[in-house]
Structures are given as structure tokens and as C-alpha cells.
Amino acid sequence: MRRADPVGGHEAGGIDRQFWNQGREWQPQGQEIRVNVHDFGEKDEAGKRLKGIPYGVYDVIRQQGFVNVGLDHDTAEFAGESIRRYYQQDGRKLTPRKEVLLLADGGGSNGSRNRLWKVSLQQLANETGLTLHVCHYPPGTSKWNSIEHQLFSFISINWRAKPLVSYEVMLELLSHTTTKSGLTVTAMKDIHTYQTGIKVMDEQLAELNITHHDFHGDWNYTIRPQRKL
């Protein structure tokens, strides 16, 4: 799984804006599409910055991608909610053994040092009964994460140079990302608000049902439900 940097977007039905997207596409002379370069400074009529935050989950065995597009902030709660949505949408049908291995980047909203990330996973384990085995990529090695090469690289190819004029267009481009080898992608919009600056106290961390592995337990650990479902 992987947290992606925000990209431009806006609520459908709002002010018409053409947001720049990386890439190059040829157009007939005189029919070029004008886009906004500095998309992160734009705000809607309520004064809220317009953005889309795609958080991806990739099943390396089945070649299935899931992208949760948030509209608010990239927080650990947003990361946990993205995984929960993947499980409810697809993972529950594919994980009969109630155990999941999560390969996560070492930093960001799902970082190995992020306490709220672990609390969010504990809530997910309690809700679903899943045992979550988590392995973080060491610092500086996230570029070898399979999701970069087998999901987001093809998303970048599919929507290169296409202006992201609405969240609906963004979801459509994500959902229509496929490859000849069998990649499929499901995309959802997440309208929830995620509070920033939440602190997790030592007492809360001590209550987690977490087992650190012998090898680099700060990067590799297992979270089990706190109660039987």
C-alpha cells in the first residue's frame, strides 16, 4: 500500500477549473487545453483548498488495485480508513483466513513511527477480526515497493496530461486503468474529514495488542484483535 501526494481536483458542480496533470499529449494547433499550473492555491467558494489525495492498496497476488481518494487531509486515520474500505470492498471476499500481510512505506501517514497509524490498525483489527502482519520498507527503499511499479506507474500513464476537471473524472481515470497482464483498479471518493495533530499517549500505545517481531520490531510487527468476535 502507498500514500500518494495530493493532486489537483474539485467537487463536481463547483467552479470550472482545469487542473494541470503531469505528462504530454499532442493537440491540434490552436486547440490546446489551458490548465492551472499552481493547483494547490485554488480554493472553493467556502474557502477550502481543492485537492484529491489518492491512497492506494495493491494485491500483489491478484493484481488488483484499490484507490481511496480523500478530499481533506492525509492522516494516519485516512490511511487506516483506506485499508478498511479496501477490505469491505474486495479484501473480505479474498481473505478467508482472517490474516493479512501489509507492506507499507516507512514514512508518511502509514509510517513505522506513526502512533496513530498503529491505533487505526488496532481499530480495524477489532472491527474485522483480522490479524494484521505489518512490514515497513526501510528508509530510502520505498521506491522498490511493488505498488509503485505495478499500480501507480500505470495510473500515471493512463491519465498523463489529462486535466483533472472534477473528482468524478479523477475516479473514472483511476477505475479504467488496466494492463494486458490483468491489472484492474477500483476507486472510491472519501468525503470524510480527518483531524490533524491528534496525539497518541503512551498509555494508549501500551493498550494495543501488538507483537513486535524479532527482526527490526520497529518495522515489523503483528496487530491482533483485542477481543474475540
The confidence band for 143, taking pLDDT boundaries of 50, 70 and 90, is confident
Grid coordinates representing 39 are 493547483
Rounded Cα distance, 132 and 125, in Å: 7
Rounded Cα distance, 115 and 196, in Å: 13
Q: Tell me how many helices (H) and strands (E) the chain has.
A: 7, 8
- The confidence score (pLDDT) of residue 119 equals 98
| Three-class SS state of 195 | coil
- The confidence score (pLDDT) of residue 140 equals 86
Question: What backbone torsions phi and psi does residue 56 show, to the nearest 5 degrees?
Answer: -105, 145
Q: How are beta strands 53-59 and 2-3 bridged, if at all?
A: antiparallel
Q: How are beta strands 184-190 and 64-70 bridged, if at all?
A: parallel
Domains in the chain: boundaries = 2-27+34-223
Residue 59 has pLDDT above 70, yes or no: yes
Q: Give the ranges where the chain is alpha helix by DSSP (H).
A: 76-86, 92-94, 115-128, 146-147, 153-158, 167-175, 202-206
Greater model confidence, 65 or 4: 65
Give the global pTM.
0.80
Share the mean pLDDT of the chain.
Answer: 82
CA distances, 138 to each of 16, 107, 111, 113, 210 (Å): 42, 9, 10, 12, 20
Mean pLDDT score, 43-53: 67
The confidence band for 103, taking pLDDT boundaries of 50, 70 and 90, is very high
Q: How are beta strands 131-136 and 220-223 bridged, if at all?
A: antiparallel
Mean pLDDT score, 116-131: 96
Mean pLDDT score, 100-125: 95
Residue 222 has pLDDT above 50, yes or no: yes
- The confidence score (pLDDT) of residue 2 equals 43
- The confidence score (pLDDT) of residue 101 equals 93
List, for residues 160-203, the tens digit of each pLDDT value: 877 777 788 889 999 999 999 999 999 999 999 999 999 999 99
Mean pLDDT score, 91-119: 89
Terminus-to-terminus CA distance in the chain, angstroms?
26
The confidence band for 30, taking pLDDT boundaries of 50, 70 and 90, is low
Greater model confidence, 26 or 57: 57
